[in-house]
Amino acid sequence: MADFSAIEAPVIAWLAGETTTLQAFRDGKDLYCETVSRIFGVPVDMDGANAELRQKGKIAVLACGYQGAVGVLKAMEALRMGLAESELQPLVDAWRAANPSVVQL
């Protein structure tokens, strides 16, 4: 049996050769926590430190991984999920800076 839950991030990372994300996946880490930790430079644990940031990482991975930007974040209801409009472009920029191989893909 296989679980394809959250498969988007590792598949995109594999296609792009994004080694940091692939290693986190191999190590069994939560990719949304890992991503937002790289973006904001703080440790993020799903059930602990900075857990509230995980949702920002998740929406950034799912939107930006497919070359989305602010419009896609809004379409995915980022504002309803607690992100402020002023956070959206900086989140896109930070995600892109943390995932250069995916951006080049």
In eight-state DSSP terms, residue 2 is: -
pLDDT in tens, 42-69: 999 888 888 888 888 888 888 999 999 9
User: Quick check: pTM over 0.85?
Assistant: no
How confident is the model at residue 1, as a pLDDT?
Answer: 47
Instruction: Compute the distance between CA of residue 96 and CA of residue 26 in angstroms, rounded to an integer.
Output: 22
How confident is the model at residue 3, as a pLDDT?
Answer: 59
Burial of 63 per CB tally in 10 Å (0-12, 13-18, 19+): buried
Task: Spell out, as residue ranges, where the chain has pLDDT lower than 50.
Answer: 1
